[in-house]
Amino acid sequence: MLKMMESLPLLATGILNILLGAYVIYENPKKALNLGLFFFALGASGWILSLWATINFPPALWVSKITFISPLVIVAFLAFFVYELEPKSFSRSLLAPVFILAAPSVFIILVLVNKVVTSVGIRNNHIINTYGSAYPFYGMLVLGYILGSLFYLLYKYHKAHGVDVLRLKYALLGLALMLIPSVITNLILPLVFKAQNFNTVGPISATFMVILMTYAIVRYHLLEIWVVVRMGVIFSLVFAAISFVYIVIVASVSQYTGLGYIYSLILSSLVITLTFEPLKQFIEKATDRIFFHKHYNFNNVIEELTSTIHTASLDLERLLKIFNEIVKSTFKVSEAEFAVLTSKDTFLASSDSKKDIELSPNNPLIEFLKMNEGFILNRDEIIHELERDRVRLKVVHIDLLPAAYEELVKLDFTLAIPISSDSQMIAIYFIGAKSSNDLFTTEDLRLLDHLTSEAGVLINNARLYGDLKKLDEAKSNFISVVSHQLRTPLSAVRWSTELLLDGTVDLKAQKEFLKDTYKNSLFVIERLDDMLTALDVEDKNLELKKEPCRLRPLIDEIVKENEFLVHSKKIDLTINLEPGSDTVECDTKKMKKMLEVLLNNAFWYVPESGGSVTLAGQKRVYGNEPFLEISVSDNGIGVSPDEQRYMFEKFFRGEAAKRMSPNGFGLGLFIVRAFARAHGGDAHFESAGRGKGAKFYFTVKREEEKKTHA
Amino acid sequence: MPNLDVLLIEDEDSLIKPLQFAFEKRGITLRVAKTGDEGVFAVRKHVPDLVLLDLVLPKMNGFEVLKEIRRDPSTAHIPVLILSNLAREGQMKRGMESGANGYIVKSNASIEAIVGTVLSMMGE
């Protein structure tokens, strides 16, 4: 029965080791590290398969010699493997591998000349070796190599950073898993207890090492492996502990009490059954503490974040700072920074951030993230991919990846997490390395993904709030301006009527005051109309009452209304309507308003003397469509280049215009453009600069001509 | 109140007329400047007993005019009464802090009250 129990797993693990070794070589046959592990696996497989052969076939000394040579291969290549494992602490030389491989070679000869094992036999289904004079030295060499490798590994681990830490962790873990059972069953038990019953456990435990190392080398997704490895480690440790308990009990019971094999088996099974659950829990806890620093609870972090953030204000800078603190303390990272999309299309970190981050839209990092929506740029993952010359990440524009990676390295961050809203990237969250140099696990990334989407909502809200605030400011400013502009004519009305009511005013003055009162009330009404028009424009609520409209009488009316200004400033006014451009299908009231705004502006802003204003009407064709174009040019204050783009914004008034005539609303040109657009046209202007005059145009579509063509 | 020299710096004709009329009734002829720079020029040309100053003015605003008046030692002592339709707290505070002796919001005061304030400031 025992023969069967040991035989099958032996064969299976022997073959498994060969397969794993072959896979590692397939991954990269040129790498010394892979080569080392391949020989290591080969040694383990030789050990296991020779034991299997000894049990299943008549014991032969040459097979048993393989059993003894294999551990030498294993430890030699273990040392070589550890030596090759990054980071390198010494300068490379060929001497070290030669030295590492030399000593076991000597002992391989000793094994071959029967100095280690002299004969082999099977008793009670167990392999019984007769040892030669060199056996204790053989044992010490094997142990020495293992311990040497272990200490060297610990030393390297102490010095390592980043990805290397993870690699070395795997190596340490594998070594520990291999060492514990094999040292017990193949060194302590045979040497101290003279028990050779369990010498097949050792080779099987070497498989742990091979499995873990294969995993560590060939893993392509560094992040996924943690979860799997954690379960594997816990399972392996539980298995090792149970084996240990089983071995110790069975060995000591059968050695010292003389009880039969079956009783010791029952006893050990009982102990294992009773201790299994607490043992497993203990190992789980210990494993998490030693190997998997898991300090946070997913839901707690999210809860903390939402409760903290919802009690804070809408101040984005403050919110993001709070957010950063939570992320820093949760993931134990020293740095975390938001770069938020600005109006200039760049991504900018907050002013008090430690690093000066401003990324232009053509930065490869930005380009790459924009093309791969939701992809988290992870420095550790990418370096691993790039090292292998074989990128398995599912991304588009892979050619941008190296440059994007370089940018991330330049900024000295580990993660770049894009934050989007309405499929527009509105921010990037940069996170530095963990202070422990551990990698970000899938769980970490999942939580970060969740947290950053919360941040996305915050950023978006704050942006909307910012826009709203700007709008609110514009509104307050508007109310303040309107209040002033309306108070002025109303003051005039008030004072004039006070004097009129007083009864002391003579007839001539009475008429004057009444005229002013009338004019001022009209002014107030017009301004109120302008405001409502602006609202209608905003609401896209303009209605046109189209009718054939003659321009000349409208122009004359406007000039007459401004007679005083034109006369007092001695303005040289020219009106030049091209034949056929005098009549147009349009909304007469709106046409008058457009002409009024342009003419009034020109009258106002030409110099006190020597002003000249020209109104011209011309038929034009733009893009096969017939238009009427009206232009008003003057030699007035002009428009400075930095103010040009605001000219048609509502409530905007140029500095020069404000100084020249402080009582304006800043709605005229806004209304002209809206009216022109409602007529299928548009408005624009030309100005050589401040003080150099200006020419304002507006166009309306000529409907009637289109009809005759059709 | 003979020979009181009051300078009104104001750009709006329909406000100048009733003010001139109301002061005339009390025997005071207002001198008028229609822009800020004209106002400063008028103050320097002949130092008035009091300045009635609008704030929103062409070419040079009332705050700048006031600063000019206070800067020049020969005009620094002139009482200045701001007569403006800027009616927000901040604007009024700024006016007083610029060195005005009084601040009247035009639309909130009757023309009699304005004349009364000027007279009382002149110790009449």
- Say how many CB pairs under 8 Å bridge A and B: 72
Task: Between A166 and A491, name the one with better pLDDT.
Answer: A491
Q: What is the pLDDT of residue A415?
A: 92
pLDDT per residue as tens digits for the range A558-581 = 999 888 889 888 999 999 999 888
Residue A547 CA to residue A590 CA, distance in Å, equals 11
Percent of chain A at pLDDT exceeding 70: 81
Q: Is B27 on the interface with A (CB under 8 A)?
A: no
Mean pLDDT (whole number) for A703-710: 51
Q: Is A128 on the interface with B (CB under 8 A)?
A: no
- Residues of A with Cβ-Cβ distance to B59 under 8 angstroms: 659-660
Are the beta carbons of B21 and A487 separated by less than 8 Å?
no
Mean pLDDT rounded to a whole number for chain A: 80
Q: Is B106 on the interface with A (CB under 8 A)?
A: yes
Residue of A nearest to B15 (CA): A492
Of A158-167, A521-530, B2-11, the range with the lowest mean pLDDT is A158-167
- Which residues, in sequence order, are CB contacts of A582 under 8 Å at separation 6+? A550, A551, A552, A617
Residue A274 CA to residue A292 CA, distance in Å, equals 27
Mean pLDDT (whole number) for A616-640: 91
pLDDT per residue as tens digits for the range A374-425 = 888 888 777 766 765 555 667 777 888 888 989 998 988 999 999 988 778 8
- Residues of A with Cβ-Cβ distance to B88 under 8 angstroms: 480
Q: Is B16 on the interface with A (CB under 8 A)?
A: no
Give the closest of B18, B58, B59 to A495, CB-based.
B18
Are the beta carbons of B110 and A490 separated by less than 8 Å?
no
Of A288-292, A584-588, A645-649, the range with the lowest mean pLDDT is A288-292
Predicted ipTM of the assembly: 0.93
CA distance B3 to chain A (A): 23
Find, among A266, A369, A487, the residue nearest to B12 by Cα: A487
Residue of B nearest to A485 (CA): B85
- Residues of A with Cβ-Cβ distance to B110 under 8 angstroms: 494-495, 498
Mean pLDDT (whole number) for A5-27: 77
Task: Between A288 and A656, name the one with better pLDDT.
Answer: A656
- Residues of A with Cβ-Cβ distance to B22 under 8 angstroms: 495, 499
Number of residues that this document lists for chain A: 710
Q: Is A511 on the interface with B (CB under 8 A)?
A: no
Residue A264 has pLDDT above 80, yes or no: no
CA distance A462 to chain B (A): 28
Query: Where does A2-219 sit in CATH, by number?
Result: 1.20.1070.10
Three-state secondary-structure class, residue A292: coil
Q: Is A504 on the interface with B (CB under 8 A)?
A: yes
What CATH homologous superfamily does A309-439 map to? GAF domain (3.30.450.40)
Residue A514 has pLDDT above 90, yes or no: yes
Domain definitions of chain A by residue range: 2-219, 309-439, 546-709
- Residues of B with Cβ-Cβ distance to A663 under 8 angstroms: 12, 56
- Residues of B with Cβ-Cβ distance to A662 under 8 angstroms: 11, 56-58, 61
SS3 string, A656-709, reads HHHHHCCCCCCCHHHHHHHHHHHCCCCEEEECCCCCCCEEEEEEEECHHHHHHH
Task: Between A507 and A478, name the one with better pLDDT.
Answer: A507
Residue A326 CA to residue A336 CA, distance in Å, equals 10
Residue A708 has pLDDT above 60, yes or no: no
pLDDT per residue as tens digits for the range B34-66 = 999 999 999 999 999 999 999 988 888 899 999
Residue of A nearest to B110 (CA): A495
Percent of chain A at pLDDT exceeding 90: 17
Of A251-260, A330-339, A502-511, B100-109, the range with the lowest mean pLDDT is A251-260
Write out the H or E segment, with its range, that includes residue A216: helix A201-218
Mean pLDDT (whole number) for B65-89: 93
CA distance B77 to chain A (A): 27
Q: What is the pLDDT of residue A1?
A: 41
- Residues of B with Cβ-Cβ distance to A480 under 8 angstroms: 88
Mean pLDDT (whole number) for A306-316: 69
DSSP A432: -
CA distance B62 to chain A (A): 11
Q: Mean pLDDT: which of A76-85, A278-287, A419-428, A550-559 is highest?
A: A550-559
Are the beta carbons of A498 and B25 separated by less than 8 Å?
no
Are the beta carbons of A663 and B56 separated by less than 8 Å?
yes
Are the beta carbons of A494 and B107 separated by less than 8 Å?
yes
Q: What is the pLDDT of residue A200?
A: 66
Q: Mean pLDDT: which of A194-198, A244-248, B53-57 is highest?
A: B53-57
Q: What is the pLDDT of residue A212?
A: 67
Q: What is the pLDDT of residue A221?
A: 36
Q: Is A478 on the interface with B (CB under 8 A)?
A: no
Q: What is the pLDDT of residue A709?
A: 46
Q: Is A663 on the interface with B (CB under 8 A)?
A: yes
- pLDDT band per the 50, 70, 90 thresholds, residue A93: low
Q: Is B117 on the interface with A (CB under 8 A)?
A: no
Q: Which two tokens stand for residue A48?
A: 């296991």
Are the beta carbons of B106 and A488 separated by less than 8 Å?
yes
CATH class, A546-709 region? alpha beta
Return left, alpha or beta for A590; rule: phi > 0 is left, psi -120 to 50 is alpha, else beta: alpha
Q: What is the pLDDT of residue A633?
A: 95
Residue A294 has pLDDT above 70, yes or no: no
Q: Is B26 on the interface with A (CB under 8 A)?
A: no
Mean pLDDT rounded to a whole number for chain B: 91
Q: What is the pLDDT of residue A429?
A: 93
Residue of B nearest to A518 (CA): B14
B72-107: burial string, b at 16+ Cβ within 10 Å, e else: eeebeebebbbbbbbbeeebbeebeebebebbbbbb
Residue of A nearest to B104 (CA): A491
Is A143 in contact with A104 (CB distance < 8 Å)?
A: no
Residue B21 has pLDDT above 60, yes or no: yes
Best of B8, B11, B13, B14 to disrupt the A interface by mutation (most A CBs within 10 Å)? B14
Mean pLDDT (whole number) for A142-157: 83
- Which residues, in sequence order, are CB contacts of A433 under 8 Å at separation 6+? A162, A333, A334, A414
**Contacts by B44-47, CB closer than 8 A, 24 or more apart:** B44/B72, B44/B74, B44/B75, B46/B5, B47/B74, B47/B75, B47/B78
Are the beta carbons of A488 and B12 separated by less than 8 Å?
yes
- Residues of B with Cβ-Cβ distance to A488 under 8 angstroms: 12, 15, 85, 106-107
Q: What is the pLDDT of residue A615?
A: 95
Is A584 in contact with A546 (CB distance < 8 Å)?
A: no
Q: What is the pLDDT of residue A163?
A: 58
Q: What is the pLDDT of residue A211?
A: 72
Q: Mean pLDDT: which of A119-133, A433-447, A479-493 is highest?
A: A479-493
CA distance A692 to chain B (A): 18
Query: Where does B6-121 sit in CATH, by number?
Result: 3.40.50.2300
Are the beta carbons of A491 and B106 separated by less than 8 Å?
yes
Residue A454 CA to residue A434 CA, distance in Å, equals 22
Three-state secondary-structure class, residue B110: coil
Domain definitions of chain B by residue range: 6-121
- Residues of B with Cβ-Cβ distance to A483 under 8 angstroms: 85, 87
